[in-house]
Chain A
Amino acid sequence: MEEENDNSIPERIFAVGEYLEAVNIALKRFEVKITGEVTQVKVATSGHCYFTIKDKTDENVLDCIAWKYNYQICGVKLEEGLEVILKGNGQLYNATGRFSFIADTIELKGEGVLKKAYLELKKKLESEGVFAFERKKVLPTFPQNIGVITSKKGAVINDLLSNLGQFGFKVKMIDSRVEGQEAVKNLLGAVKEFKKQKIDVLLIMRGGGSLESLQAFNNEALVRAILDFPCPIIAAIGHDKDVPLLALTADFACSTPTAAANTLNKTWEMAPLTISQAERVVFEGLNGRIIQIEKEITRSSGIIESWFNDFFDRYKEIASELKTYVLRIEQAILSRNKFLDNCWGKIESDFSFAFKEMVQKLIYLSQTIKAHDPENNLALGYCLARKHGKIVRKTSDLPPNTGFDLQVSDGIIKTKTI
């Protein structure tokens, strides 16, 4: 566009849209501040705010628009008659070609008006319990990771760093504008960023200033943004009479960065004493516990000793009883053995007697029977006459010329009758 400037314009014919776009680009570069009195206000259902401002002295009028987000965070509720300062740029609406001023920021003009708005918001937040002590977080003991939101151009950050003790602090700073209404977006962005980071404490700092210059720290959107911050917040904002609403909302507030540094140093400086006290508590507790344990051991030893004594006494009793039973059993066995021995002796004796008697009887019978053996007489000269194996008893048994046998003591004589 710049190259085509004055020389090219007569040569080129723009379409309406092209022209509107070219103008809007030029207007975007022309950011200005405008002051005026609000005459008409309409907040659409979309949340965008459409309003008009005019000069107080004559009838010059300007249509303005504050988009939803900008209107929400500006902290100003537009009403007819309010004097405001807008910051933004002009814009042509393509559909109608109508000119509007797009206000990125809106701030109230005049100390009295600012004070009134400050007091109203303070009252509102107070009624909601936003400043209540109960909802404030306790500052951590021995903080290490410190988040800082302030302007790197001011002296505040240097004051903080030079007053922080050598306790291993890790300071991470996000640079932010801290002056006027324009700072709100910066501050909100920094708070949002620190919410994602692992820090122990967040410091929001700026040097002193008037109510007007501290407007950003009285912004409702910013106050509500720090309400649900995950770690404690220290506000170190210099002020005259009216404490900034952000300082009232913070978990701990002081006026200077030095005071903030001292607050962070405090638990570290107290550490040796705290350790000493803790050491004493631990040792006293430990000593007490040792004494208690010793007593318990002594008591337990007594119980164990008593138990073992009882056990051994009972063991002796049982052993003695067992010994008695063993002796009884031994005696019973001996008695049974003796009985068996006696039985056996009698059986042996009786059997031997019966056996001998039987032997004697057998001998006697043998002798008796042998004594009656008819063949015994053969030795005396008798003989036995047999005919065909049968004893010859009569003479008629042997007719003349009959063969027969004569048995004598040493054999048989074969003969016959005449």
Chain B
Amino acid sequence: MVNLQETIKKLEAISLWFTSQKELDVEEGLNKVKEAAVLIKASRERLKAVENSFEEIKREINQASEE
């Protein structure tokens, strides 16, 4: 399971790597972009799952309150 916090840290590290390059190493840059793309996709999926779980919990709590 993807750990969002760690993934964000990795993405921040990639972002920092790009911003810190005075002369971009295209080859390395491309690898970083590919890695970032995978992490972003996984993070989005995980965020969607978290959001769904949260909505589910919210719905159950609201039902319990009504009862």
Contacts and interface: CB of A to CB of B under 8 A. Distances in A.
Interface of A: 337, 341, 344, 348, 351, 355, 358-359, 361-362, 365-366, 368-375, 384, 390-391
A358 B8 contact: yes
Contact of B15 (A344, A358, A369): A369
B30 to A, nearest CB: 6
Contacts of B8: 358, 361-362, 365
A372 B18 contact: yes
A128 B56 CA distance: 121
Contacts of A337: 65
A362 B50 CA distance: 15
Interface string B24-52: 10110110110010001001100100110
B47 A384 contact: no
Contacts of B50: 355
A337 B14 CA distance: 46
B18 A374 contact: no
Given A348-B58, A366-B40, A372 B11 contact: no
A332 B44 CA distance: 43
Contacts of A368: 15, 18-19
Contacts of B32: 369, 372
A358 B54 CA distance: 15
B36 A362 contact: no
Contact of B36 (A359, A369, A375): A369
Given A355-B51, A374-B29, A391-B26, 12 more contacts: A341-B65, A344-B61, A365-B14, A368-B19, A369-B14, A369-B32, A369-B40, A370-B33, A371-B18, A372-B29, A374-B30, A374-B33
B54 A369 contact: no
A372 B28 CA distance: 11
Taking residues whose C-beta sits less than 8 angstroms from the other chain, chain B's interface range is 20 to 34
A390 B25 CA distance: 12
Contacts of A372: 18-19, 21, 24, 29, 32-33
A359 B14 CA distance: 17
Most chain A Cβ neighbours within 10 Å, of B8, B36, B44: B36
Nearest to B21: A372
Contacts of A362: 8, 11, 40, 43-44, 47
Given A358-B8, A362-B8, A369 B43 contact: no
Contacts of B40: 362, 365-366, 369
A337 to B, nearest CB: 8
Nearest to B54: A351
B19 to A, nearest CB: 7
Interface in B1-28: 4, 8, 11-12, 14-15, 18-19, 21, 24, 26-27
10 contacts: A341-B65, A355-B50, A365-B11, A365-B12, A365-B15, A369-B15, A369-B33, A371-B18, A372-B18, A373-B33
A392 to B, nearest CB: 11
A373 B29 contact: yes
Contacts of A361: 8
A386 to B, nearest CB: 10
